[in-house]
Chain A
Amino acid sequence: MKGLTKILGLRVKQGYRALTSIGLVLIVIGLPLIAVLSLGIFAQSEKGWYLSMIFFALIYGIHFSRADKEHLIHLGFMPIPVFVLEYFSLAVLLGLLNLFLVGNWMNLLVMVGLSIVVGVSPQVKFESVKNALHFPVNWIPIKAFEWKIGFRKFGWLIIFLIVMGLIFAKHSPAVSLVALILINFTSTSWYKDFEAFELFSIFRGAKNTLSKKIFYQVSLTTLVCIPLYIAFLLFFNDLWYLLLLVVLMGHLVNAFSIFYKYAGYHPSRVKTESDLAVAIFCLCTLVPFFAPVVLVYLWIYFFRAKKNIKQYYAPC
């Protein structure tokens, strides 16, 4: 019970830190918009299957990037039941909402199933396999070190997504698009670690730091995703505008994670405060209705990043 209180306390603290980092104005504007968006998704998608897809992308992203396993063990918990319980609670919450609004009980079962599958996915084994079979990254320029490290950790996963996307590309336009969305969501997590000040200072200035990071992000994503672009256009060239939207969305999501990283960068810290802001941004980009929120977020965090970087280059 004491441990459970600690976990809940920890989650509340994480939530609070995330909310304070986002800013009150965006919370006041953003959260109601997300509520409207959610209702819009239910209304637009047939039987709410879209929600299962978003739910899967969300818990998939959380599960493979979370680093609280050791902390849970320290508190005396077995991590897997905690992971399953957390994803399960989220699945039940969203599934019941979906059941209430659309009446699709199968969706509830699918989400519960997904929560268990993702929760029991062997994170520990995954880590050790990752360490043993680091993806070759010599082809990535050293200045794009986030990509180098990210690909070293998640390269095989990205390749798996590309291969799956190619194999099933002709069956549905959604396959390549979902693979692209997942690749882009995965690469946002590469910007959550802060580099030491000596690495930060090699880009010499705010403008150079942000423009170089975005240049590498856009060019390397394009390079990696070219097979998926070609497959999509080969089978569904009449839907080219959907591909364009997903590509744009991917670049926006990663630009935001770069801005978010540098808006909070401090030489004495090792990580961004929270992943929640990036997660919310990712969700917002999935629905055109939220385009204004996406642009406002990008704008605000671009200036915050620029201001924050500048202070470290200012002469004393």
Chain B
Amino acid sequence: MNNQGRPTRPSGGETTRRGTFTGNRALDMEEALIFETGRLDATGVDLEAPAPFASKLGAHARSAAIGLPGLTEPEAVRHYVRLSRNNYAIDAGLYPLGSCTMKHNPRLNEKMARLPGFADLHPLQPISTVQGALELIDALAQALLTLTGMSAVAMSPKAGAHGELCGMMTIKAALAARGEDKTRTVVLVPDSAHGTNPATAALIGLSVRAVPAEADGVVSAEAVEAALAPDVAAIMLTNPNTCGLFERNIVEIADAVHAAGAYFYCDGANFNAVMGKTRPGDLGVDAMHINLHKTFSTPHGGGGPGAGPVVLSARLAPFAPAPSIVGTGDALSLAEHHEGRQAFGRMSAFHGQMGMFVRALAYILSHGGDGLRQASEDAVLSANYVRASLIDLMSAPFGDRPCMHEALFDDRWLKDTGLTTLDFAKAMIDEGYHPMTVYFPLVVHGAMLIEPTESESKASLDLFIMTLRDLAMGALGGERERFVAAPVHAPRRRLDETRAARQPTLRWAKPTPA
């Protein structure tokens, strides 16, 4: 029994559960692969064969079988609906993945993105036929500039990491214009950074110099100054950082970076904490990507698509990649080439994630300026509420101090239990919750990073808190089995990930007859 008196475990315990003939357990269904149930001659699409004609494929025609099974429509619907039911989703429950901002995804935004005037639009149509699309991109761009206080925005990056790449390329282009791209080849990155930061730097030939954080979880201007040198191109700093803290020395850090002739890249993954509270442009940031799929609620879709527009300071704006929107009012156009500018090149074909732009703009219009500020305040308040409600049981690496939109705990409190962060996370699954982000940031041992977002009601937060308290007391009270065996109520128990990596099976293959 949990604090609300709801039984969450069958009274007889796991061992008495009877197997079923199908392997199904009521609504929890096993589902075969399409390669096991589909047939090469089955199809769920009625297409008439073309009238006979003279092929122009020449010697290029495909003769061999492809190996693609088909399903009729009812079979296909059932396959995917049954699969879907094995997924956790924000629509179904609190999803406190720190750093991922799993907030509510309004369906209005889905509806708007599917308007034929947006969805059924080819990227290379004559400009006269896409004025409304350019208007929408421009409107979103202006809103992002207003929110961030920056000078320009590159809209084309397709996700956060792609935005990082765009921002760092912009910096490299600006250095090249100064003749310093060959001498400034080092990027300062705190240990707490997302893995994408050092990976991005390495992609374009920059090396990484680590910057330590202070004991209180933030980077000091002194540490940055100590790492700055004539070979430094930029600092990549996440703010609010991955420990859920605002980098309170950020202005001094920006000043030091600029004084040393380097640029300030800000990882904007956590922008959800500060909308309407402060602006990166006022803090001295030169480039920052914005994850539209985090802050502006475009759905994560099981791993994308995202969108990562990059806002730029005045000194970097001239180097923004193609394309950009030019013109005003009723006569917007696209600059798709350099056209005499210093644009550094192109991040991807076409103009960016239009489908995400429509959703993000719908989200911004729905909230308005006040609503966005309120969303950030509620996100921060909710995270602090969770933090304050658990701090007496669980340990926090930086003590009992306020956080931004995510609350970070470590595993010191589990020290004498023999249990791990992973055990705790898996036990949350049995209680009907998606676990928080675990083992990230790497600088905190056994990290548990909880981001409730602004989308939860107080009742939802209270039940979550009571559940975590019950689990924590269970862990501290020696309830080992509840954790090491978990999850037992999920569609699957813990997976053998070692086997997956040692003997990789990355596609279905026809079983060889015994």
A binds B: no
Which residue numbers of B lie inside 8 Å of A, CB to CB?
none
